[in-house]
């Protein structure tokens, strides 16, 4: 079984509910078991600042799905939730990203693992650290060292 970490984010249509529904939808994927869930965090937007704050979380799952199969399932969940991709870093109903997949390093047109910007984003690293404070991100280092190097952000735990 593969150990996989998935980030969830939302800032539209009751974001907290969207995250909870996203987690429930991940649980329904065949051959996926959620092992652990982070707290939920309210975080300011990145990139396009004139939009509502986000709610972010991370889940750890186990599955025998390969990365592409899992990505296809996650994209389907986003589509069912009503995700429309029209602006990078823009508002979204539900965003699901594969952060880590075992210790794989993968660079394809539609999928990069580890997630290419996760080491720059406290809104990903803090919930990831909730699940496992000893994670080492391939080619980046230990999560606690990465967090200590980043500038503080206004991230508030809400659950």
Catalytic residue among 92, 117, 132, 133: 92
Note if 130 is an active site residue.
no
Note if 133 is an active site residue.
no
Catalytic residue among 72, 83, 85, 132: 83
Distance in angstroms (rounded) separating the CA atoms of residues 143 and 136: 6
H helix count then E strand count, the chain: 4, 10
Catalytic residue among 31, 85, 95, 132: 95
Note if 103 is an active site residue.
no
Check: CB of residue 63 under 8 Å from CB of residue 32: yes
Tell which residue, 70, 67, 102, 93, has the closest CA to residue 8.
93
Catalytic residue among 97, 121, 133, 145: 97
Note if 95 is an active site residue.
yes
Decide: helix, strand or coil at residue 22: helix
Residues designated catalytic: 83, 92, 95, 97
């Amino acid at each position: 079984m593969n150990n996989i970490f998935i980030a969830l984010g939302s800032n539209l249509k009751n974001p907290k509910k969207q995250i909870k529904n996203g987690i429930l939808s991940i649980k329904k994927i065949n051959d996926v078991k959620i092992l652990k869930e982070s707290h939920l965090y309210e975080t300011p937007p990145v990139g396009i600042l004139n939009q509502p704050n986000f709610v972010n979380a991370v889940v750890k799952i186990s599955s025998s799905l390969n990365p592409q199969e899992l990505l296809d399932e996650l994209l389907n969940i986003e589509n069912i939730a009503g995700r429309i991709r029209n602006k990078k870093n823009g508002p979204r109903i539900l965003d699901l990203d594969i952060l880590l997949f075992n210790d794989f390093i993968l660079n394809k047109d539609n999928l990069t693992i580890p997630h290419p910007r996760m080491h720059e984003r406290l809104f990903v690293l803090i919930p990831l650290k909730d699940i496992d404070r000893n994670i080492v991100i391939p080619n980046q280092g230990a999560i606690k060292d990465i967090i200590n190097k980043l500038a503080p952000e206004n991230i508030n735990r809400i659950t």
